[in-house]
Amino acid sequence: MTEATAPTSQPDGGGDNAHGHGHGASKAALAVGAIGIVFGDIGTSPLYAFRETFAGAANIAIDRMHVLGVVSLIFWSMVIVVALQYVTILMRADNKGQGGSLALIALISRHIGQTKYAWLVVLLGVFATSLFYGDSMITPAISVLSAVEGLTVVDAGLQSYVIPIALVLLVCLFVLQQRGTAKVGALFAPVMIIWFTTLAGLGLNQIVQHPEILWALNPYYAVMFFVTDGFVAFLAMGAVVLAVTGSEALYSDMGHFGRGPMRLSWFGFVMPCLLLNYFGQGAMIASLPAEQAAEVVKSPFFLLASEEFRLPLVILATVATFIASQAVISGAFSITHQAMQLGFMPRMTIRHTSETEAGQIYIPIINWALMVAVILLVLTFQSSSNLAAAYGIAVTGAVTIDTLLMGVLFVGVWKWKWWYAAPVVIFFLIIDGAYFAANLFKVPQGGWFPLVVGLIAFTLLTTWARGRKLMRERMHETALPIEIFAKSAKNSATRVPGTAIFMASQTAGVPSALLHNIKHNKVLHERVVILTVLIADSPYVDPEERCEYHDLGDGFYRAILHYGFMEETDVPQGLKKMQRCGGEFDMMHTSFFLSRQTLLASDKPGMPIWREKIFAWMLRNAATAMDFFNLPTNRVVELGSQVEI
């Protein structure tokens, strides 16, 4: 059975109520928790963002004017992209408390319906999600590698140990995923609070000594950077954007903590700490003679600390990047789960790693695929500076797409007049589009990697969604109405004791498993239930609206279980709530019959043969419905059929 998607008419909102972490906790407690889980990606950017702006391909002169220009550009980028676009505006666009590209397109689709441009909105959201997979591969590699590279600041002779140490740490990171973060997660917030406090302290020390760096708060210096350097300043944007990587992840993680606590932790703690560090790095570089500054800018973050504190700083940075990488990997699990529920990915084995936190999941195939990709990235690119060329294009691509979706949100959901929405969208599109365009120049140096990953993921996601639609259509063409079947079958087959549940992807017609069962076994159970699981385009479904049933007479019932795209589809648990469907369900006297389709590629109009073959491969390798729906293993019967699309 393949899960279907059903619209829901429930109102939006609830952004301050987290269904995941700490539901019901105080706003302050959730804000502290968010510091440990959500802000790791953007919080470790000071390790490499400022350095890459000067040490990258732009070849910017290291003098007071350019330092002020770069710091000003970082400050205003953080204000406009992160604080204004994401934290202030997009966090208002929650889908029952959930954020992210998939949640956003589900929210938009629910309001604009099947308009002629609805398909474009879906494709944009799917492509933004696809780019996230490239980001989730590069983030652990560049973060951990940049932290371990701090050892060369402590002792240049340790250079040869950087890659082996980074690889060991990364392998440990992925191996630990299957154990979950329930036990060690409590340490994340204290460690990250220490990290951000250290960032602020190191930066403030330099600002106090060289307060003239505060002139960078004036956007005049960012503008003059472009006036004097032109194209070089434009190229520098490809590195400056590294300071705001993680902004899209903030929106995606909103469901764990709620927008109120996340805004509190961002404006009240995280953003000030980050800015103090960037201003501190700028103050240190601007105060040095040109020749010395050229050396220091190769690793400005670790040189903010005095010599005796550099090794402890390297250790702290490594732990912080470890936590940041853990959050990105968990985000990949969450996005994959959403994509499965919304029908863009085949079923995969999902393991819950916490008895109390429903959002803590582990998807083995995603974990090991990410690990292999991250190891190959480290071995191929060798340094965080080389990886920086690959980083950014996935993030800026996703941010630009979110800006376009934001325009649809303004007009289609929030019902703004287009002349109000257009100036806002155009403003952000100019900023985000400029960052994306600057990153396109990094494609030959490594920017191709996230684009290739995104293209592959996009092809797989759209192929699966299209294939499912075609397969449903083919099955519907030959479907027999259940009412006719029930009347004809009651006298043509022997009724045996017990309950038979036939899983069906459609809410109409007779599932193929039921037809095959009566054809080959020539028996019907006393109670026959045709069960469909529908996934709503909202993250959670009210438990009171979980179950729906229809009595078809003669012991036949059609039942529907409704779930949100963030919920676990536990069919036995759902059936416990469905006592009106001919009585309670005793699992010891209930058999589940599943249809297992084998796809035959054909020349029928629908998809090109190569996509049909990809869909067939995905269908063969999908997790069984038994695992996905938590069905009791000793009560399941699978009956196969062949389908041409």
Measuring CA to CA, how many Å separate 38 from each of 45, 101, 210, 329, 586?
14, 16, 32, 12, 43
Q: 236 and 439 in contact (C-beta within 8 Å)?
A: no
The helix or strand, by DSSP H or E, that contains position 480, with its residue range, turns out to be none
393-408 and 448-477 are packed helices; what angle lies between their axes, rounded to 10 degrees?
Answer: 50
Please provide residue 601's backbone torsions phi and psi, each rounded to the nearest 5 degrees: -65, 140
Burial of 43 (0-12, 13-18, 19+ CB in 10 A): buried
Residue-wise pLDDT tens digits, 203-261: 999 999 999 999 999 999 999 988 888 888 888 888 888 888 877 777 777 777 778 88
pLDDT at site 316: 93
DSSP H helices in 510-633: 512-520, 571-576, 609-621, 625-628
User: What pLDDT is stored for residue 206 in this prediction?
Assistant: 92
pTM for the complete prediction?
0.79
| Tokens 């709503």, located at residue | 536
CA distances (Å), 96 to each of 87, 103, 398, 510, 565, in order? 17, 9, 22, 34, 11
Q: Nearest Cα to 41, choosing from 445, 332, 406?
A: 332
d(CA 485, CA 513): 13
Under DSSP, the state recorded for 352 is E
Pairing of strands 590-600, 494-503: parallel
SS3 218: coil
Strands 523-536 and 4-6: parallel
**H-helix segments, 391-443:** 393-408, 418-440
The Cα–Cα gap between 328 and 5 comes to: 27
The tokens for 526 are 């006393």
pLDDT given for residue 8 in this prediction: 34
pLDDT value at residue 49: 87
Alpha carbons 573 and 250: distance in angstroms, whole number = 33
Say what the pLDDT of residue 58 is: 57
Residues in the chain: 645
27-37 vs 185-209: helix crossing angle, rounded to 10: 80
111 is written with which tokens?
């309001």
Q: What is the CA radius of gyration of the chain?
A: 27
Question: Low-confidence residues of the chain, pLDDT below 50?
Answer: 1-24
Rounded Cα distance between 355 and 183, Å, is: 11
pLDDT for res 180 = 66
> Which tokens belong to 631?
């069905």
Q: How far apart are CA 217 and CA 335, in angstroms?
A: 36
Query: Position 549: which residue type?
Result: Y
Helices vs strands, H then E, count in the chain: 28, 9
